Amino acid sequence: MPAYAVEFTTERGLQRTQFTLDDDRPLGPQVRQILEELRGTGVVISGTAEDELSVVWGGRDLDTTQAPQQLGISPQRTIELHMQRRARAVKIPALAPFVPKGAYAAAVSGMAGALIAWFICSTITDLSDALPTYARLDLAEGGMIGVFAGGCIAGSDALRRRTSIPLGALFGVVLGLVGGVAGGAAGAGLGGLLTPRLAPAAFPLARIVAWAVLGTALGLTLGMRWWQDDERRTVDGAWYGALAGVIAGLLYSLPGPSEFWQALAFAIVGAGVGAGVCAPSLRRSVAILELERGASGSVGLTRLREWGLLNGGSVPLERDGSTAATVVCETTRCRIVPASGGGVRVSGKSISAPTELVNEDRIAIGDAQYRFRRRRRVSA
C-alpha cells in the first residue's frame, strides 16, 4: 500500500507525517483511523466542536466515500486535513408557481411563422390557374400556415433544447404542412356543408368552424413531433389550436379592415398552436432547467436555452464541446452527475460525485450558469 504525506495543523503549528492508504478502500474510514492514531499519541488537529473535517489533495476537496484509486490521487502530492466551519443548513426555497419562458417563446415563434405565411398569402389577390377555386385557396393558406408556423415552432424548440435545429424545423414543416392541408380541406368541406343549411346571417359560423378545424389539425399533427417524449402534446396542441381557431374565426368575421383581421387571425392560430404543443408539457415537468447566464452575459428570449425535465429523462450540459455533467430525473428526484475532470459547482459548492438537486439550485459550468426550479414535490 502506498505511503502518503499527511499535513495538519495543531497547537504547535503545521505538522506532517506519513500514513499508508489502501487504494481500494473508501477514504473516509481510513482518514478516521488516521485521526484515532493521532489522538493515541496526544496529537489533536486544531479546530472547534462546531467544525467539520475536510480532506484536500491538490487543491480540491475529496469525496471520502470513494477510494483513492477512484479519486485519482497519488502519493506525489500531500493530503491536507483541515477543520473548517460547518456549513449552516440552507433553507430550501418553497415551490412557487411560475410560467416557463419556453411557453412564451413557443407562442412567439408560432406567431412569427404564421405572420410570414400571412404576408405571402396576402400577395395572392385573385384566383388563378394554380388556384382556380376558393377551396383550393383555403388549402394553400392552410398549408402556408402549417409550413411556416410548424417550422418556426419546432425549430425554436430544438434551439432551446440544443438539439438539431435543421432536423427539428424539417419535422415541423412536414407535420405542419400535413396538418394545414388536412385542416384546410376539412374546414372548407364543413363550411360547404353548413352554408346551404344556414341562413345567410349565420355564414360567420361556418367560417369560425373552418378556423377551429384548421387550428385543431395543426396542433394535432405538430404535437406528434414530440410523441416519444410526451404523447399528450398532441392532445394539448389540438385543444389549444381549436380554441385559437375559434377566436381567429370570430376576429376574421368582424367588419372593417379585412386584411388586418386576417393577419390577426393568422397570428392567433400560430401563437395558440405554439403554446399548445409546448406550454402544458413544460407545466407537467418535474423541474425546469434554464440557462441563466452564458459566456456572453445574461440570456434573453432569443437566446433562451431551457429544458423540461421529465421522469426518466436526462439533459447533458456541455463545456467546450464535451459533456461536463448530466442532469438525470427518476421518480421526481433529479440529480447532477459530473463527468471526469471536475469544474462543476452547485450553489457555490464544487462537486465530484452525483448530487441531488433542490429547488432554486444554481449550476455553474465554466462561464455558464443554469437555474434549476422544481415544479413538483419530491416523491417519498
- Tens digits of pLDDT across the chain (380 residues): 788 899 988 888 888 889 889 988 888 899 889 888 888 888 888 877 667 888 888 878 888 888 888 888 888 889 998 887 665 556 677 778 888 999 999 999 999 999 999 999 888 756 555 565 656 777 888 899 999 999 999 999 999 998 999 999 999 999 999 999 998 888 777 766 665 555 555 677 878 888 999 999 999 999 999 988 888 999 999 999 999 999 999 988 888 787 898 899 999 999 999 999 999 999 999 999 999 887 666 677 678 899 999 888 899 998 877 888 999 998 788 999 988 766 888 988 888 888 889 999 999 998 889 999 998 776 55
Break the chain into its structural domains and give their ranges.
Answer: 3-85, 101-284, 287-374
Rounded Cα gap, residues 309 and 253, in angstroms: 41
- Ramachandran quadrant class, 341 (left: phi over 0; alpha: psi -120 to 50; beta: rest): left
Rounded Cα gap, residues 168 and 138, in angstroms: 26
pLDDT (0 to 100) of residue 371: 93
β-sheet with 79-85: strand ranges across: 13-20, 3-10, 79-85, 51-57, 60-61
Q: Are 244 and 89 in contact (CB under 8 A)?
A: no
Q: Are 352 and 60 in contact (CB under 8 A)?
A: yes
pLDDT (0 to 100) of residue 14: 86
Strand partners, 61: 56
Cα 204 from chain centroid (whole Å):
41
CATH fold of 3-85 reads Ubiquitin-like (UB roll) (3.10.20)
pLDDT (0 to 100) of residue 237: 95
CA count, 13 A, side-chain hemisphere, 330: 6
Its CATH class, for the domain covering 287-374, is mainly beta
Q: How many CB atoms lie within 10 A of CB 200?
A: 6
pTM of the model as a whole: 0.71
Q: Smallest Cα–Cα separation from 105: which of 143, 146, 159? A: 159
CA count, 13 A, side-chain hemisphere, 42: 1
pLDDT (0 to 100) of residue 379: 58
Tracing cell 404564421 back to the chain, one arrives at 114
pLDDT (0 to 100) of residue 223: 94
